Amino acid sequence: MAGRGGFGGGMMPQPGIILLREGTDTSQGKGQLISNIGACQVIADAVRTTLGPRGMDKLIIDQRGQATISNDGATIVSLLDIVHPAARTLVDIAKSQDAEVGDGTTSVVLLAAEMMRQCKPFIEDNVHPQIIIRAFRTATSLALEKIKEMAVGIPKDDKERLRQLLEKCAATTLSSKLVARQKDFFSKLVVDAVLLLDDLLPLKMIGIKKVQGGALEDSVLVAGVAFKKSFSYAGFEMQPKSYEAPKIALLNVELELKKEKENAEVRIDNVKEYQAIVDAEWEILYDKLRKIEASGAKIVLSKLPIGDVATQWFADRDIFCAGRVAEDDLDRTAKACGGQVQTSVNNLSDNVLGTCEHFQEKQVGGERYNFFNGCPKAKTCTILLRGGAEQFIEETQRSLHDAIMIVRRAIKNDSVVAGGGAIEMALSKYLRDHSRTVSGKQQLIIAAYAKALEIIPRQLCDNAGFDATNILNKLRQRHAAGPCWYGVDIRSEDISDNYESAVWEPSIVKINALTAAAEASCMILSVDETVTAEKSQIAGAQAQMGGHPGMMRGRGRPM
């Protein structure tokens, strides 16, 4: 019996092997997986109520006190200060969905979270995550093939029908936004804007300018470039405000007298020498102005300031000028009017000057705007948004961005599917039927994937105050009778053929959403251990103050 309590029997004690720094936190196994799934559910709950035409808006106030009102999923999750690494995956897929297709950001978060929620019982029953991942990938591949098979092509040869279809796609997107009441007005405006572009449909050639005041219906589409007149010195009132076919000089040159530095020193012997220095400064400026006039340019735009002397000089010669023009506005004008931005006035020949059919400066609300119409080189347009509160105009801009992206994708990918939960119910029924032909655990997991797709019509019903169970039972019955486009009808609190009701979405939206949601789910399910290094005391203190390591001052977040 001797030696049992000690190191008897000649055995030496085994030293503990330390691999990680002291204070490092590790968590692994089933508990870690379930914790990650729970974190993703919290993100989904934050955006769940924003889905659909009857979705609610969120008011988010950041650390600087700036308020944002939005029901756009990508905007909401990006404004939330999420630190959980698994939950950040859902933020990333919402942002990628927004960048790729512009809409469906809330849907992709809900789908990913619901897929993980449906597979949670399997994790708890010790089903290996790789079996679930394999089944999810199989189900996603089948669903994408089914979407492509069901999608209805867009006829590009019939211009009138194409336009109507694009307007319906834009209206479907806008119906869930803050501007849903004006969706008919804005859907026409958005389609007009996109059709004004060239074949590549560059997003940068659509400018959106916000002007406070007036009603939303006062918003206008300008077939050309428009931007707010920048700061002007005295004398600009005397400049002409309208030109026909003018030459346009685009400069990155400062046209004002340079102020001497405080420590500058000039030694002179008499007053005449001082006068010569002053005259030389003026002569440098006037030489620049004479060269601009000699080029024949009637409109001068500069990224840098144009001073009061230059403004008055141009006004005396019937030349319009604007300084401190924003870089993106100047670049868009250069692309549209055909000019090149010059850093010197020495070689202002016709091949570097732009032109347009008509230029006009006029009042819009409380601001002066410069309009360039009939731009020859590139097809471009500008949307002038009107409205009351600043937050309302900001949300309108985000809504129009989503609608523009959807119309561009519809033109590029030329196929649509019915929205309102119709395509999700069709896919759910198809995958449920397919699961019965598969044996083993895969059957149960594919059936769970099919059930997860029903989160979209279910949430649409919940957000509208409908009886979701009753509506879903009707939809299952209708889809079981054969292929159809039946989905949730928000207006009648029932189901309807959403393709006939013109609730259309580009098929690429659903393809991208399903792919991203499945990828995110599989990635989170494949993580079985999280290793978190201990934060240093300095980094921890700065993090509490809202700063980052290396910053000496925090952003004032409460301790």
* Number of separate domains in the chain: 3
Phi, psi of 250 (to 5 degrees): -110, 115
Domain residues for 83? Answer: 24-153+418-525
Q: Does 532 fall in a domain?
A: no
What pLDDT score does 110 carry? 95
Does 452 reside within a domain? yes
Phi, psi (rounded to 5 degrees) for 374: 70, 45
Tell me, yes or no, whether 309 and 358 share the same domain. Answer: yes
Tokens standing for 374?
A: 């009939």
Report the chain's terminal Cα–Cα distance, integer Å: 58
> Does the residue 427 lie in any domain?
yes
Q: Residues with Cβ < 8 Å from 61, sequence gap 6 or more?
A: 67, 68
**Cα separation of 353 and 356, whole Å?**
11
State whether 35 and 136 are in the same domain.
Answer: yes
Q: Where are any strands of DSSP class E within 406-463?
A: 415-418
Q: Are residues 98 and 213 in the same domain?
A: no
The answer on 371 and 243 residing in a single domain is yes
In CATH, what number is assigned to the domain containing residue 238? Answer: 3.50.7.10
121 with 142, same domain? yes
DSSP secondary structure, 350-367, as one string: GGG-EE-SEEEEEEETTE
- The residue written with tokens 């804005």 in the block is 186
Do 256 and 209 belong together in one domain? Answer: no
The answer to whether residue 158 is domain-embedded is no
Do 80 and 99 fall within a single domain? yes
Query: Residue 106: which CATH number?
Result: 1.10.560.10
What pLDDT sits at residue 261? 55
Q: Which of 401, 394, 403, 402 is nearest to 212 (CA)?
A: 394
Determine how many CB atoms are found less than 10 A away from the CB of residue 415.
16
Are the C-beta atoms of residues 483 and 150 closer than 8 Å to each other? yes
Q: How many residues does the chain have?
A: 559
- The span from the CA of 363 to the CA of 524, in Å, is 54
Q: Do 257 and 323 fall into the same domain?
A: yes
Based on the fold, state whether residues 242 and 278 are members of the same structural domain.
yes
Q: What is the pTM of this model?
A: 0.78
Asked if residue 549 belongs to a domain, the reply is no
403 within domain boundaries: yes
Instruction: Answer yes or no: is 538 within a domain.
Output: no
So what's the pLDDT on residue 214?
84
Cite the active site residues: 72, 105-106, 402
Q: What is the CATH number of the domain that holds 195?
A: 3.30.260.10
Q: Which residues contact 23 (CB under 8 A, 6 or more apart)?
A: 534
Could you tell me if 470 and 373 lie in one domain? no
The two three-digit tokens of residue 272, written as one number: 């005449």
The CA distance from 347 to 314, in Å, is 19
Specify the pLDDT at position 26.
Answer: 59
- Rounded distance, CA 302 to CA 312, Å? 16
**85-to-63, 81, 92, 538 alpha-carbon distances in Å:** 21, 12, 11, 22
Q: Give dist(CA 276, CA 395) in Å, integer.
A: 57
Average pLDDT per block of 10 residues along the chain, 559 residues long: 48 57 61 88 92 90 87 88 86 89 90 94 91 95 94 84 89 88 92 87 87 87 87 76 91 79 69 77 88 92 89 90 89 88 88 91 86 85 88 89 90 88 94 92 94 95 93 94 91 90 90 94 87 60 48 41
Residues 247 and 192 in one domain: no
* 213 and 237 both lie in a single domain: no
On whether residue 478 sits in a domain, the answer given is yes
